[in-house]
Structure 1
Amino acid sequence: MSRKNSVRHFEDNLNELDILINQLESNQLSLEDALKAFEKGVKLSQDCQSVLTQAEQKVQILLEKQDGEHLEIFDPESNS
């Protein structure tokens, strides 16, 4: 799958996951439908995590090739 398709696939999965979450939070699904939605959501979440992991690995490789820099842990609490 090309990078462009991978990003499109990721965005589609993320949007679908958002819809499923909203459906589950609405408490209007039957138990059977809620379980199916949850199962599908877990699969979508795993697919999205896989794409993110691959992207992170690519970024790390690119940074290591550029002057030996390494990824730093992102801390949203830090002001730097």
Structure 2
Amino acid sequence: MTTAGHLRSTVARATCDVSVAGVPWPAYKVIALMLGAFVTVIVGVATMSAAPAVLAGAAAATIAWLGLGVFCTDRQ
């Protein structure tokens, strides 16, 4: 790998990583998990039922995970 390629890869990785308990996580995964938890709570409060809340939260997290993952992939 060239120096420019290495630098570009390092910069891309640095902007897409979040430290969780000292372990680097891709930011899109953290965002997707937080969004899923938020949607679960909001739908749960609105419907007072667990089934739609869990399904909506899982759907929101999955869509965010897959959608945001396209932008933070490690392309070398």
- TM-score between both structures, scaled by the size of structure 1: 0.38
Of structures 1 and 2, the one with the larger relative CO (CA 8 A, separation 6+) is 2
- TM-score between both structures, scaled by the size of structure 2: 0.40
